[in-house]
């Protein structure tokens, strides 16, 4: 089984009804807060330099954009 990449992780998180928001962004990396769907409590953070994830997020600041 192939290892899940960062974009798949974030996409699966949102598909399950949870939310995410960008905490920090540079031209080559991003840190995203993974939050619960019932109140927004942070459950984890994802920091990545994956170009696919950076492209997928684009200029969005949160999953609801």
Of 27, 24, 43, the C-alpha closest to 35 is: 43
Of 49, 3, 41, the C-alpha closest to 57 is: 49
**What is the structure's pLDDT at 27?**
94
2-55 pLDDT tens trace:
456 999 999 999 999 999 999 999 999 999 999 998 878 999 999 999 999 999
Distance CA 30, CA 17 (A): 21
pTM recorded for the entire structure: 0.86
Distance CA 30, CA 39 (A): 23
**What is the structure's pLDDT at 1?**
39
Please check whether residue 35 is in contact with residue 20, taking contact to mean a CB–CB distance below 8 angstroms: yes
The residue-averaged pLDDT of 60-65 equals: 92
């Amino acid at each position: 089984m192939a290892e899940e990449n960062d974009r798949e992780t974030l996409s699966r998180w949102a598909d399950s009804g949870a939310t995410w928001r960008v905490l920090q962004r540079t031209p080559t990396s991003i840190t995203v807060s993974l939050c619960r769907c019932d109140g927004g409590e942070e459950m984890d953070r994802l920091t990545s330099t994956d170009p696919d994830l950076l492209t997928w997020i684009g200029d969005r600041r949160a999953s609801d954009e």
